[in-house]
Amino acid sequence: MDAKQKDKLATGILYAIAGIIVLLLASLLGYILIQGLPHVSWHFLTSPAKAFEAGGGIGIQLFNSVYLLVLSMLISVPIALGAGIYLAEYAKANWITDVVRTAIEILSSLPSVVVGLFGFLVFVLQFNFGFSILSGALALTMFNLPLLTRNVEDSLRQVSFAQREAGLALGLSRWETVIHVVIPESLPGIITGMILGAGRVFGEAAALIYTAGQSAPALNFSDWNPFDIASPLNPIRPAETLAVHIWKINSEGIQPDAAAVSAGASAVLILAVLLFNILARFLGNRLYRKMTAES
Amino acid sequence: MDPIKEAMLHRSKAAKLERRGRWISFTCISIIVLVVVAIFSFVATRGLATFFDNKVNLWSFLSKTTWSPAVKDAHGAPQVGALPMIVGSFGVTFLSAIVATPFAVGAAIFMTEISPQVGKRVLQPVIELLVGIPSVVYGFIGLSVVVPLIRNVFGGTGFGILAGTFVLFVMILPTVTSMTVDALSAVPRHYREASLALGGTRWQTISKVVLRAAMPGILTGVVFGMARAFGEALAVQMVIGNAALLPQNLISPASTLTSVLTSGIGNTVMGSLENNALWSLALLLLLMSLAFNLLIRWIGKKGEMK
């Protein structure tokens, strides 16, 4: 076989590989949506789960997922912003910065189950928060922080240095330059990263089974006082999320319709992640146009 | 006092703001470092208790094959042999990396060298979506599609390392692919031009020049994928069968470090030997993730383009 034939063969194989991967995703999505969507109805999305009989929904789990997501983003976004600003604007090239960067790298590569176990040890047992939304949100924060921080730092670094010089030349302090000049310019990138992070958090389960717990007590959706135990807003009640629910009914569940419920829940989860992805692209582009006056 | 002198002697409002801002951002970064230190120290204290408090021999922990911490053997020592889990974890990790690498590298070459347009429009979003799918969904698909398939084709229960490999292959594919794409696009254009000018075909250019130049980056991607596979818990736990036995073949039920942890830690009492032994597994997991990290750094340092 001469070089030209080899070239043709290799090209063919590469096309095949690309095709297989596209096909793989298409069949994954197709399977989930075809299996799952028929089960998704308003009733399924709003009614509570049933432990022993068919016909349960995912209402409480869905609410828990969203609430947990909001709470953990509320904690992690400010910290990630601060840390990203420090790394991009203040950090000098010395050994302290090296240590910090290594720490972030290690944290981002830790298995999420280890993060979950640490949360269990510290928040659930040591601080006595119990299996609760609060413990879960803190565990998710640890899981999410390194990636968010890196995203903030990268977005800040993409702002051209002339912008900073302009701010400083106007007599602004470094901090004011960052807040009023650099952050607005890099906001689209930061927002995109945050939404993608939110998608990741939404589907996370391993960090949650021993922090937010695996049970979803009944909620009273007319009681919005955060201190009542049945209130949906109470942060120290156990809260099984959608992703944990899928794991739970598949590995330990005894519902007769476990497969149908998990297919439906998976479809909802996938749609949510898709939504986050589209939102990230759309909002990022839109914000970028708005803030840079590029039509 | 003269207002100018006063202004010189006191810190201006802007300077105070600057100090405060600097302090706030430094606090944030310290929180992250603190979290990392806390994770290591807490897991290490718990994990080492097996060896110091319960006097389990480290070597027998790593090499014995019977995992039943509640039962004592003839010498009165608890039976905590973690070898089945270690073999399981490394088994699925290496096998899935071996399967995923050709696909990932192939896809990356396609995206950068063969057809960048299709790559950008079709494959890029596909890869991003694959990253986004939650691991429990992969586990669920593994449980409802892959396991029955293996059961029908090879017999047995269908649970086992093969099913785990299959699920992890899909999970690490996007990670390895996107890092390989980065590595390939970092190869300077004139390398390719030089090879083509010498009369090399496209495939000769790719295999003899581009891939060689991008090798360290590709290896980093593969190790990243392996780290992800090693630490993945739920998807693997759902399809591996969860039997703490040394795997006989690829389709016999097995277990990994993560699967034993997820299914076990809730059923043991804090401070008991059963519990400590599980924390030792968590420590092992932590150390392995550290090892992968070091490996990545080492490859990065060795392969720096000079």
Domains of chain A, first to last: 40-292 (1.10.3720.10)
Query: Does A263 have pLDDT greater than 70?
Result: yes
pLDDT at A47 over 80: no
User: Which amino acid is residue A89, in one-letter code?
Assistant: E
The CATH number for B240's domain is: 1.10.3720.10
pLDDT of B104: 93
The pLDDT of residue A85 is: 92
Report the residue count for chain B: 306
Instruction: Please give the helix or strand (H or E) that residue B71 lies within, else none.
Output: strand B67-72
B117 and B27 inside one domain: no
**Is residue B27 included in any domain, yes or no?**
yes
Which residues of chain B make contact with A78, given a CB cutoff of 8 A? 28
Judge: B42–A121 Cβ closer than 8 Å, yes or no.
yes
| Chains A & B: contacts with CB separation below 8 Å | 259
A212 DSSP assignment? T
pLDDT over 60 (residue A35)? yes
> Closest Cα of chain A to B2: distance in Å?
24
- Nearest Cα neighbor of B259 from B283, B248, B243, B277 is B243
Distance separating alpha carbons of residues A210 and B265, to the nearest angstrom: 8
Q: How far is A173 from chain B (nearest CA, A)?
A: 6
Q: Is residue B126 part of a domain?
A: yes
pLDDT band at B249 (very low <50, low <70, confident <90, very high): confident
- Neighbouring CB atoms inside 10 A of B5's CB total 9
- Report if residue B69 sits inside a domain: no
Per-residue confidence (pLDDT) for residue B76, from 0 to 100: 65
Closest Cα in chain B, distance from residue A46 (Å) = 21
State whether B129 and B255 are in the same domain: yes
B42 and B96 part of one domain: no
pLDDT in tens, A132-161: 888 999 999 998 999 999 999 999 999 989
Best residue of B11, B39, B128 to probe chain A, by most A CBs closer than 10 Å: B39
Residue B129: burial class (beta carbons within 10 Å; 0-12, 13-18, 19+): middle
ipTM for the complex shown: 0.87
Same-domain check for residues B9 and B109 = no
Judge: B265–A246 Cβ closer than 8 Å, yes or no: no
pLDDT of residue B129: 83
Mean pLDDT of chain A: 85
Contact state of B24 with A17 under an 8 Å Cβ cutoff: no
> 3-class secondary structure for B146-177?
HHHHHHHHHCCCCCCHHHHHHHHHHHHHHHHH
Residue among B141, B170, B233 whose CB faces A113 most closely: B233
Report how far apart, in Å, the C-alpha atoms of A53 and of each of A5, B134, B246 are.
Answer: 62, 26, 37
Of all residues in chain A, the one with the smallest CA distance to B129 is A274
| End-to-end C-alpha distance for chain B, whole angstroms | 62
Tell me which residue of A82, A108, A280 sits closest to B128, measured CA to CA: A280
Neighbour tally for A128: CB within 10 Å:
10
**Least CB–CB distance from A31: residue in B135, B141, B233:** B141
Pairwise pLDDT comparison (B244 vs B292), residue with the higher score: B292
- Do B168 and B253 fall within a single domain? yes
Are A76 and A140 in contact by the 8 Å Cβ rule? The answer is: yes
CA distance B257 to chain A (A): 10
User: No. of H helices and E strands in chain A?
Assistant: 11, 0
Give domain status of residue B65, yes or no: no
User: Residue B1 pLDDT > 80, yes or no?
Assistant: no
B204 lies in a domain?
A: yes
Q: Which residues of chain B does A6 touch, with a Cβ-Cβ cutoff of 8 Å? A: 201, 203-204
Minimum distance, in Å, between the CA of residue A205 and any CA atom of chain B: 7
Among B32, B102, B285, beta carbon nearest to A111: B285
Backbone angles phi, psi at A228, to 5 degrees: -80, 145
Q: Are residues B89 and B45 in the same domain?
A: no
Question: Do B23 and B159 fall into the same domain?
Answer: no
Contacts of B201 in chain A (CB under 8 A): 3-4, 6-7
**Partner residue opposite A18 with nearest CB, options B107, B133, B290:** B107
B202 part of a folded domain:
yes
* Mean pLDDT, residues A266-293 taken together: 82
Based on the fold, state whether residues B23 and B97 are members of the same structural domain: no
Confidence (pLDDT) at B195: 93
With an 8 Å Cβ cutoff, are A11 and B203 in contact?
yes
Looking at the structure of chain B, the number of domains it has is: 2
Please indicate, yes or no, if residue B262 is contained in any of the structural domains.
yes
pLDDT at B48 over 70: yes
* Nearest CB neighbour to A79, from listed B28, B109, B231: B28
Average pLDDT score over residue span A45-74? 81
Could you tell me which residues come within 8 angstroms of residue A221 by beta carbon, excluding any fewer than 6 positions away? A232
Question: What are B141-184's pLDDT values in tens digits?
Answer: 998 888 889 888 887 788 888 999 999 999 999 999 999 999 99
B275: closest CA among B90, B80, B86, B87?
B80
Report d(CA A280, CA A81) in Å as an integer.
18
| Domain co-membership, B236 together with B120 | yes
The first and second tokens of residue B216, run together, are 């360290």
Q: Measure the CA–CA gap between B34 and B24, rounded to whole angstroms.
A: 15
pLDDT tens digits for B92-146? Answer: 999 999 999 999 999 999 999 888 888 888 888 888 888 888 889 999 999 888 8
Q: Which residue in A10, A13, A206 is closest to B262 by CB distance?
A: A206
The share of chain B scoring above pLDDT 70, in percent, equals: 96
Closest CA to A60 of A46, A50, A72: A46
**Ordered alpha helix ranges (H), chain B:** 3-9, 13-52, 58-63, 83-109, 116-118, 124-132, 135-141, 147-154, 161-185, 189-197, 202-205, 211-231, 234-240, 257-264, 273-302
Quickly state the pLDDT bin for A248 (edges 50, 70, 90).
confident
Give the C-alpha separation, A91 to A101, whole Å. 10
Task: Identify which of A185, A243, A228 has the alpha carbon closest to the alpha carbon of residue A69.
Answer: A243
Q: CA-to-CA distance for A278 and A18, rounded, in angstroms?
A: 23
Kindly provide the b/e burial profile for residues A244-255, where b requires at least 16 CB atoms within 10 angstroms of the residue's own CB.
bbbbbbbbebeb
Cα A154 to Cα B263: distance, rounded to the nearest angstrom: 38
User: Cα separation of A149 and B176, whole Å?
Assistant: 22
Range of the domain at B293: 83-302
Token readout for A295 is 């039509």
Give the pLDDT mean for A65-93. Answer: 91
C-beta of residue B268 within 8 angstroms of C-beta of residue A117? no
| Helix or strand holding residue B70 (H, E) | strand B67-72
Tokens 């389709």 label which residue?
A: B251
Residue A169: pLDDT band with limits 50, 70, 90: very high
A17/B110 CB distance under 8 A: yes
> What percent of chain B is modeled with pLDDT above 90?
36
Chain B, nearest residue to A7 by Cα: B203
Q: How far is A290 from chain B (nearest CA, A)?
A: 24
* Average pLDDT, rounded, for chain B: 86
What would the pLDDT profile of A198-226 be if each residue is shown by its tens digit?
888 888 888 888 888 787 777 777 777 77
From CA A138, how far away is CA A116, in angstroms rounded? 10
Are A15 and B114 an interchain contact pair (Cβ–Cβ within 8 Å)? yes
- Residue B227's alpha-carbon distances to B132, B290, B296, in angstroms, are 18, 9, 10
Residues B6 and B113 in one domain: no
Residues B188 and B270 in one domain: yes
Residue B63 included in any domain: no
> Are residue B231 and residue B175 in the same domain, yes or no?
yes
B110 closest CB neighbour out of A14, A82, A210: A14
- For testing contact with chain A, the best of B42, B196, B203 (most A CBs within 10 A): B203
CA of A50 vs chain B CAs: smallest distance (Å) = 19
Residue B306 has pLDDT above 60, yes or no: no
